[in-house]
Copies of this chain bind each other. A is one copy, B any other.
Amino acid sequence: MAIEQLYSAHVNKLRAYREALSLLYWDLRTGAPKKGVDLRSETIGTLSAEEFALATSDSFGDMLAELEAKNEALDPVLRRSVEESRKEYDLSKKIPPEKFKEFVVLQAKAESVWEEAKEAADFSLFQPYLEKLVAMTKEMIGYWGEKNGSPYNTLLDQYEPGMTTEVLDEVFGALRSRIVELVRKISESADKPETAFLFGHFPKEAQRDFSYRILGQLGYDFEGGRLDETVHPFMTKINRQDIRVTTKYDEQDFRSAVFGTIHEAGHALYEQNLGAELAGMPVETGASMGIHESQSLFFENFIGRSDAFWKRNYRLLQETAPDLFADVAQKDYLRAINEAKPSLIRIEADELTYALHIMVRYELEKGLFNGDLEVKDLPQLWNDKYEEYLGIRPANDAEGVLQDVHWAGGSFGYFPSYALGYIYAAQFKNAMLQDLPNFEDLLEQGNIGPIREWLTEHVHRHGAMKKPLEILRDATGEGLNAEHLASYLEQKYTKIYQLN
């Protein structure tokens, strides 16, 4: 067999394992019976180990070396795929197997200790594990080799290829001062939205119907996916023709289902519209965490929280839940769903303050890996930064430094992607307006097609053929630029809160 075919067969085998694993997880999170969970975890562990052995086999390494030797002769999809495979391969393979195993065991242990610590609102329980996780991650950076000039940049590059603290410091800095200023003005505004009517009883079945309607309107392909209920919503690719979304129906707060569904639809539309020429190859995936998040946030915020979208859909919502909305005017509803108010918990944050939560985490991570920040100092610094940026201070570690699982899982350098996604999204929106000045009319007509096609043309179809900043530049003519997000937020909240 030619080397190209060997590579393709190996990649296909890995794909099969990943489909099985994705389905095992999806099932676990959407309705697997609870008694079967322990055995399911064992099954996932066993198949993950098998998949890992295949992904890091010496024979796969040999294939990659052989393909790299004929680099220029490869077609572009194969060439970029080999680059992606190499990156993944080295990430695992450069670490001595016993170190890797030690890290996996530590992660599992740390996650369970983190749960207990959060329960007890006591960081000191978790501290020794986090110290060990940071130390081991530093050790692994040593094995990987420093990328882009600093240890933390090595981590950033794993989630957001090419991203550096130099870029983030500048961009986040500029954005932060403008958001903080807006938050301050809003807190002083006398004209705050009424929101009580959002929290009436909204039956699950009705929320489900509404979610299906909206997914259809956004162009989600139900023949290549499905919608299910879960506790922490997610999108998952089972295979490239089977992209599933999930949502959560809270009968006392319908927003989690509606905005969650729209958010996951953004992720799903990315995966459903990858270029056909990428089929089956490692580049058949999103370009980065941040670019993926840009698509979900584009849909959630620029579509789902917009005036035009609700001009189209508010009547449907009223019909779906007349008890809640029959007597509420559309403009009051729109103000209510766009309320901005500093809060302590990231995953409950609103559109305006969300990025501030991310910045706190980013600065702390950077200090841990590039500076001399010590783990023991995190709770104090965390609380200080919340006070500085959001004007509120956690009363304990559970609503402070212990709120997210990411660090317990050894994921450092991941958080910035959330804010980057938002900045990218605003840049895409700005560029899109050049081509589709009738953006709002389209939303009001429920005609999402041209908007989705623009995103497919400039983002979706390329998969991982381009790096994130290449996608951004090709789509917008710019590098990373927070100006668009900042102005969008200023305009939006000035209007909503009648700021000066």
Contact surface of A with B, Cβ cutoff 8 Å: 12-13, 15-17, 19-21, 23-24, 27, 31-40, 42-43, 46-47, 50, 221-226, 238-242
A152 to chain B, nearest CB (A): 37
Q: Which single member of B24, B36, B43, B239 contacts A43 (CB below 8 Å)?
A: B239
B27, B35, B37, B222: which contacts A33 (Cβ < 8 A)? B222
- Taking the closest CB of chain B, its distance from the CB of A190, in whole angstroms, is 50
Contact A27–B27 (Cβ < 8 Å): yes
Q: Given A16-B46, A19-B40, A35–B241 Cβ distance below 8 Å?
A: yes
Chain A's interface: helix, strand, loop or mixed, by majority?
helix
> What are some 8 contacts across the A-B interface (CB < 8 A)?
A13-B50, A16-B43, A19-B24, A23-B27, A32-B242, A35-B221, A35-B241, A39-B242
A23-B23, A239-B39 are contacts. A225–B16 as well, Cβ < 8 Å? no
| Nearest B residue (CB) for A19 | B43
Q: Are B40 and A242 in contact (CB under 8 A)?
A: yes
Once A27-B27, A242-B40 are accepted as A-B contacts, the answer to whether A223 and B34 lie under 8 Å apart by CB is: yes
Query: Which residues does chain B contribute within 8 Å of A226, judged by CB atoms?
Result: 31-33
Copy number in the complex reads 2
With contacts A13-B46, A46-B12, A46-B13 taken as known, whether A19 is within 8 angstroms of B33 at the C-beta atoms is: no
Q: Which B residues touch A42, using CB under 8 A?
A: 12, 16
Q: Taking the nearest CB of chain B, how far is it from the CB of A226, in angstroms?
A: 6
Check B39 against A19 for contact (C-beta < 8 Å): yes
Q: Which residue of B lies closest to A240 (CB)?
A: B39
A20 touches B43 (CB 8 A): yes
Bound: A353/B244 CA distance, A = 45
Residues in B neighbouring A37, C-beta threshold 8 A: 241
Q: Smallest Cβ distance from A47 to chain B, in angstroms?
A: 6
User: What B residues does A241 contact at CB under 8 A?
Assistant: 33, 35-39
Contact B225 A33 (CB under 8 A): yes
Q: How far is the CA of A500 from the CA of B45 in the complex (A)?
A: 65
A36 neighbours in B (Cβ, 8 Å) = 224, 238-242
**Min CB distance, A39 to chain B, in Å?**
4
A20 touches B24 (CB 8 A): yes
Determine how close the nearest CB of chain B comes to the CB of A5; give it in whole angstroms.
15
Shortest Cβ distance from A238 into chain B, in angstroms?
A: 6
